[in-house]
């Protein structure tokens, strides 16, 4: 069953904090009144999500055009979602550069 989101229509809803998620059969009509507070609501179509179709954060990122990589071992990244190569293998120079980025550089104190 899909989850539909409703938002208060022309008023503030203090009880359900703006938006309510309602689990409804797909052929059920849109609710007219908020099941929590009873005020008028309208369905927010664009945000409707399917409960069974749980998307991972990587899928969400790829939907936005981002590619997510997961580090499998030193210098090796595996694609989790999105476009692009399935695996990135860094050269030893790349790895060194990444590692260097992580360690904060100590600035020598120059006492002149």
Cα–chain center distance at 4: 18
Residues 34-73 that bind Zn ion (CB under 5 A): 34, 36-37
Shortest CB 15 distance to Zn ion, Å:
5
Tokens of 15: 């009880």
79: which residues sit within 8 A by CB, 6+ positions away?
67, 68, 69, 70, 85, 86, 87, 88
Nearer to Zn ion, 19 or 76 (CB): 19
Report which secondary-structure segment, H or E, holds 61.
helix 57-63
Shortest CB 51 distance to Zn ion, Å:
21
When asked if residue 16 is in the footprint of Zn ion (CB under 5 A), the reply is: yes
- DSSP single-letter state for residue 108: P
Contact segment (CB under 5 A) with Zn ion among 8-16, 44-52, 62-70, 75-83 equals: 8-16
Binding residues for Zn ion, per CB under 5 A?
13, 16, 34, 36-37
């Amino acid at each position: 069953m899909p989850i539909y989101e409703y938002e208060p229509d022309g008023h503030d809803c203090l009880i359900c904090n703006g938006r309510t998620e309602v689990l409804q059969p797909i052929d059920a009509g849109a609710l007219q009144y908020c099941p929590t507070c009873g005020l008028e609501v309208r369905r927010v179509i664009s945000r409707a999500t399917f409960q069974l179709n749980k998307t991972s954060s990587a899928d969400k990122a790829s939907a936005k055009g981002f590619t997510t990589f997961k580090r499998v071992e030193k210098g090796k990244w595996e694609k989790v979602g999105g476009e692009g190569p399935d695996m990135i293998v860094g050269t030893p120079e790349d790895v060194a550069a990444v590692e260097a980025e992580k360690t904060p550089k100590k600035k020598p104190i120059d006492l002149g």
